[in-house]
Amino acid sequence: MAGGVVLITGAGQRLGAATARRLMDAGFFVMVHVRTSLEAAEELLNEAEQRNGRNCGCIVQADLTDDEALASMLDEVKKHRRVQADGLFGIVHNASFYSQSSFEETSLEAYRKLNRLHMEAPYFLTQQLLPELRQGKGSVIAIVDTSWGRAWSGLAHYTSSKAGLRQLMLNLAGELPDVPVNCVAPGAIMAADWEAEHFTKVLEKVPLGRSGKAEDIAAAVHHLLTTPSLSGQVLHVDGGWSLNEG
Ligand SMILES: NC(=O)c1ccc[n+]([C@@H]2O[C@H](COP(=O)([O-])OP(=O)(O)OC[C@H]3O[C@@H](n4cnc5c(N)ncnc54)[C@H](OP(=O)(O)O)[C@@H]3O)[C@@H](O)[C@H]2O)c1
């Protein structure tokens, strides 16, 4: 249903913003969640509105690791007039925090925070917004990664919380009779500031020999959202990297 409402977390910049842009241009009303990227999100919405000549979305702001902020954002989503009228056509759990630190040096506090961001917030938002998803005949998509079953040095905190998110989504896909649930697993798409050198080495292992584009992730999300028979899938958008990753 073009015109439905889609909530995307962490959508102020990078892959989340590309996904928001694609969905807004395809006719959806996107609730662009940000933690800090308010200006970028405003620009994203303004540009979409100019391109499409309509109100394409709104911004919701919260630190998803803060229980109060999360609850207040949930309330805002539920009370939004578009959500009350149409329900939700999708939730995209995209927000993430990717940083390298050795297992010995990663504090329990940092680990808990990542679990809250990658697992607890998606769990809570999906659970609390099920009535709206049902009303809007919507689906849920989580953006995971390709680390499943692999060891990435200095990233145990990140890969394990993403594995939890992936498993949460697959379990829900099997459990919920009326809400499709899927994952998109990006490969090497957009390097973080700290990993430029590592990123170049990774690309040597990608069969297609190049990084993907943010728009590829946006296209994968769009495809999953608009193909209601797809559920329980993990769509790898990685140029074949998973085949060669040791
Ligand atoms: N980039 C890649 O090549 C790649 C590869 C594999 C998987 N992925 C996955 O694809 C998704 C998008 O990737 P990306 O590189 O675009 O992500 P990113 O820039 O690392 O993070 C996306 C957004 O998450 C938000 N965020 C961080 N901490 C938060 C918190 N405590 N509460 C609420 N929001 C928070 C930030 O919002 P603000 O900016 O508003 O603070 C940030 O812009 C992520 O799930 C990532 O794990 C990406």
Tokens (6 digits) for 90: 């999708």
d(CA 62, CA 64) in angstroms, rounded, equals 6
Q: How far is the CA of 131 from the centre of ligand 1 (A)?
A: 26
Residue of minimum CA distance from atom 12 in ligand 1: 15
User: What pLDDT does 2 receive?
Assistant: 64
63 lines ligand 1 (CB under 6 A): yes
136 lines ligand 1 (CB under 6 A): no
**Rounded to 10 degrees, what is the CA torsion of 123, 129, 135, 137?**
-30
Q: Which residues in 217-228 are b (16+ Cβ under 10 Å) and which e?
A: bbbbbbebbbee
Q: How far is the CA of 94 from the centre of ligand 1 (A)?
A: 6
Among 8, 13, 15, which is best to mutate for testing ligand 1, by the most ligand atoms less than 8 A from CB?
15
d(CA 119, CA 48) in angstroms, rounded, equals 30
Q: How far is the CA of 180 from the centre of ligand 1 (A)?
A: 23
212 lines ligand 1 (CB under 6 A): no
d(CA 159, CA 64) in angstroms, rounded, equals 19
| pLDDT tens, residue by residue, 47-96 | 999 999 999 999 999 999 999 999 999 999 999 999 999 999 999 999 99
Residue closest to 34 by CA, chosen among 66, 11, 2, 4: 11
d(CA 150, CA 148) in angstroms, rounded, equals 6
C-alpha neighbours within 13 Å on the C-beta side of residue 29: 19
What are the Cα distances from residue 181, in Å, to 1, 73, 90?
Answer: 17, 22, 10
Residue of minimum CA distance from atom 11 in ligand 1: 94
- The minimum-distance atom of ligand 1 relative to the CA of 158 is 47
Per-residue pLDDT of the chain (246 residues; tens, 9 = 90+): 468 999 999 999 999 999 999 999 999 999 999 999 999 999 999 999 999 999 999 999 999 999 999 999 999 999 999 999 999 999 999 999 999 999 999 999 999 999 999 999 999 999 999 999 999 999 999 999 999 999 999 999 999 999 999 999 999 999 999 999 999 999 999 999 888 888 988 899 999 999 999 999 999 999 999 999 999 999 999 999 999 875
145 lines ligand 1 (CB under 6 A): yes
186 lines ligand 1 (CB under 6 A): yes
d(CA 186, CA 71) in angstroms, rounded, equals 29
95 lines ligand 1 (CB under 6 A): yes
| pLDDT tens, residue by residue, 124-141 | 999 999 999 999 999 999
Report all structural domains of the chain as residue ranges with CATH numbers, in order of start.
5-186+215-228 (3.40.50.720)
User: What pLDDT does 1 receive?
Assistant: 45
Q: How far is the CA of 234 from the centre of ligand 1 (A)?
A: 18
In this structure, is the dihedral angle defined by the CA atoms of residues 149, 217, 4 and 67, taken in order, positive or negative?
A: positive
**Rounded to 10 degrees, what is the CA torsion of 6, 10, 11, 12?**
140
**Rounded to 10 degrees, what is the CA torsion of 52, 54, 56, 59?**
130
Secondary structure element (H or E) that encloses residue 8, with its range: strand 5-8
